Chain A
Amino acid sequence: MTLLDFARGPAMQIAIIIFVAGILWRLVGVWALRQKKDLSEARQTGAWVGGLKGLFVHAWPYKPFVPKVGAQYIIGYIIHLGLFIVLIFGTPHMLFFADIVGFTWWTLPGGVITAVAVITTLALFVALIKRLVNPVQRLISNFDDYATWFVTTAPFVTGLITNMNMWPDYETGLAIHLLSVWLLLIYFPFGKLMHSFWFVVSRYTTGSRFARRGGMA
């Protein structure tokens, strides 16, 4: 069995099993907890509207904070949108998902995907440098932050090297790229990458609670 066969076969199966089991463990484990009762009297009805508003209001910082954290938001958007574009509209990636869902969709030319991946990778490095040079950010960072950065950046770097054919051997390069993605999947449920699921829940909860108490989302 070659490294690529291992990456496409058993490694992928193990990674997906851990990913699925881990995600469901975290979701069910939190949702099945007893929810905190809000004993205060509702100051306005329709708290759920506030919850939905909360999803979008927090997508951009409160105006007075923009000069301080605006750049951080922009970097975050570049990383997340880049990840989305490369993952969904890169032809080899689409074919991976098409094999699961049974249908294909439109993809972007390889050059565009490469450009987006380069920009995203640069944004990831800028985010890391900002974390390292800002004393407060550095102080509140732990292993999870750096591990999350690593498992997110590795697929981009290995993917670019594979796409540009810079490995001595393409087959091994492709295998390393796949293995780096499986590493991300394995780490996903146990670290801060779970924000992909939690951000919706937490923004809704915060928004609806504030709204119930008569405040802003």
Chain B
Amino acid sequence: MKEHDLTLGEELRRQGISRRSFLKFCAGVASSMAIPAAMVPAMADSLAQARRQPAIMMAYQECTGCLESLTRSFAPTLENLIFNFISLDFQHALQAAAGDQAVEAIKTSMKENWGKYLLLVDGSIPLNDDGIYSVSHGQSHLDSLRELGEGAAAIVSIGTCASFGGIGAASPNPTGAVGVDQIITDKPILNVPGCPPMPEVMTGVLTSFLAFGALPEVDSLKRPRAFFGDTIHDRCYRRTFYDQGKFADSFDDEGARNGWCLYKLGCKGPITHNACATLKFNEGVSWPIQSGHGCLGCSEPNFWDKEGFYKPLSAGQWGSAEGIAAAAAAGVALGAVSAVMSRRNQNKISGGK
């Protein structure tokens, strides 16, 4: 029997994994996605009946940071995901094959799983000059995405670049980089932004897709609500200091050493939706704010272009002061003209006396 023909339940039994362990795994994923505990047995049954999901992961205009993060997932681990739940048919950094042999793997998977495979995209896609600024194996990533997107059951955009264009799209965006959903509009698309994204969010949505056969509920930016429903500020362990008015004024003052709120140092937590504050990175070891740095807002569109990571959120974006100086001059001139006209009127009424 072929690997793809076995159900996950059969595959797990073959590997000697008990139902109890499997239920524990399902409970872990369910709790991270805020799925009610009563749904866990149904989720486990559904997962056991599922077949390994064919998946193709494409790296476009990216830095591999998202993959680095994905490999550090702990619930489930990436190995667990790859070996038990999905059949990762192509990922250029993880696979041994290269060149024509690797490209052949994509073609084979597309042919065998047309309309069924999950397309995972990492990196933005340049549009300028027919996408010539990002090319693999002689094919622009724009053409590659269009071709692979056509046969995909659903697409998961991994990272802020694939979701919104990210750093590749930062002003002045010389390559015309965009996210996947600005090119593909007729497929279910899920955005998992972050720079890098939370590994558990990536693996969690994949497991959810396998269990329920559909992408989870999303917000207006196509992000799964289970992970992106709250802001960092709402869930931040330093929130109490914000409410008390205790702030760090620099990265090395008493406030910083006491672990006070980093709002004054430019933390973008109040406008950033992500699960870092609850799930943390590296098996729950830490996350940026815990390490003493404010949130950069990396899971939000255009986070790179919000006029400085260290500028407080409530500060304005001034542009240049010339406009204000011109306004002041115009106001004075306008006032002088008004006064001259009024004086003339006064003269007229009083007859010049």
Binding site for B on A (CB under 8 A): 1-2, 4-5, 8-9, 12-13, 16-18, 20-34, 91-93, 95-96, 98-100, 104, 107-113, 165, 170-171, 174
Contact = CB atoms under 8 A, between A and B. Distances in A.
Contact of B317 (A12, A24, A104): A12
B335 A27 contact: yes
B243 A109 contact: yes
Nearest to B266: A95
B301 A2 contact: yes
The 9 closest A-B pairs by CB, nearest first: A28-B335, A24-B331, A32-B339, A109-B245, A92-B314, A21-B331, A99-B315, A29-B338, A95-B312
B334 interface: yes
Interface string B262-273: 011000001100
A57 to B, nearest CB: 30
B324 A20 contact: yes
Interface residues of B, number: 43
A20 B312 contact: no
Contact of A29 (B233, B324, B334): B334
Interface in B305-340: 306, 311-319, 323-324, 326-328, 330-332, 334-336, 338-340
Contact of A25 (B319, B326, B338, B346): B338
Nearest to B233: A170
A4 B271 contact: yes
A18 B323 CA distance: 10
A68 to B, nearest CB: 37
A21 B327 contact: yes
A28 B327 CA distance: 14
B242 A110 contact: yes
Given A16-B327, A25-B332, A92-B314, 10 more contacts: A12-B316, A12-B317, A18-B327, A20-B328, A24-B331, A31-B335, A32-B335, A34-B346, A95-B263, A113-B245
Contact of B306 (A5, A21, A30, A99): A5
A43 to B, nearest CB: 25
Contacts of A108: 245
Contact of A24 (B301, B316, B332): B332
A132 B23 CA distance: 65
B32 interface: no
A112 B234 CA distance: 19
Contacts of A25: 331-332, 334-335, 338
Contacts of A9: 316-317, 319
Contact of A99 (B244, B312, B323): B312
29 contacts: A2-B301, A4-B271, A5-B302, A5-B317, A9-B316, A9-B317, A12-B317, A16-B327, A17-B323, A17-B327, A20-B331, A25-B332, A28-B334, A28-B335, A32-B335, A32-B343, A91-B263, A93-B314, A95-B263, A95-B312, A95-B315, A96-B315, A96-B316, A99-B316, A99-B318, A104-B264, A112-B245, A113-B245, A174-B313
